[in-house]
Amino acid sequence: MTQTAETVTAGGTLNSADPAPYLALFSRWNAELIDFYLGCLQQYSLIPFRVFDFRSVESMMQAQTDFCRQVAEDCKAEAKKLAEIADEELGESSSSPETTYEAQLLKAQEDARQIIRLAEQQAERIIADAEKEAAQRRQTNAGLQAEGDSAAA
């Protein structure tokens, strides 16, 4: 007697004797995630270059807020794409659409929170570095000013 491996899900049992649908799902799923993460990484890597455009702390904070909002929107859209891929590859979803959608939204929200935390940490590092450099420049300028004053006297 042969046994087939089965996976128990919230919606019932899926027969895993044929791995092709799952391999197709994982392939498309991973390709989509790679594209998404590379896009996020590209957007995130451009942040330090935008520092020179900021004229105030408020403009930097607004840019950070805008970035975080965009990340949250992108994560929601990506969760939708991933759900569509799963539905296309596996046919009907293995659990109720509400549960799947809820889980994906919660995951997207958690991912967005993590990205926001990373962006905040990066912003804090950028501000700290800028303040440190400004203090060093003030100190250097003060030293040059003192030398100029002593040479003039």
The 10s digit of each residue's pLDDT in 18-47 is: 787 788 888 888 999 999 999 988 888 887
Give the angle 85-91-94 at the CA atoms, nearest 5°: 90
Whole-number pLDDT of residue 99: 66
14 lies in a domain?
A: no
Whole-number pLDDT of residue 25: 83
55 lies in a domain?
A: yes
Q: Structural domain tally of the chain?
A: 1
pLDDT bracket for residue 7 (50, 70, 90): very low
Domain range holding 38?
19-143
86 lies in a domain?
A: yes
Residue 150 has pLDDT above 50, yes or no: yes
The 10s digit of each residue's pLDDT in 80-134 is: 998 888 888 777 545 555 667 888 888 999 998 999 989 999 989 999 898 999 8
13 lies in a domain?
A: no
Tokens read off for 56: 């105030």
110 lies in a domain?
A: yes
88 lies in a domain?
A: yes
4 lies in a domain?
A: no
Predicted TM-score (pTM) of the model is 0.46
Residue 67 has pLDDT above 60, yes or no: yes
Contacts of 24 (CB under 8 A, 6+ apart): 89
Tokens read off for 60: 């930097």
Return the number of other C-beta atoms located less than 10 Å from residue 42's C-beta.
Answer: 9
Q: Identify which has the larger pLDDT, 117 or 13.
A: 117
What distance in Å separates the CA atoms of residue 88 and residue 102, rounded to the nearest whole number? Answer: 19
Whole-number pLDDT of residue 73: 92
5 lies in a domain?
A: no
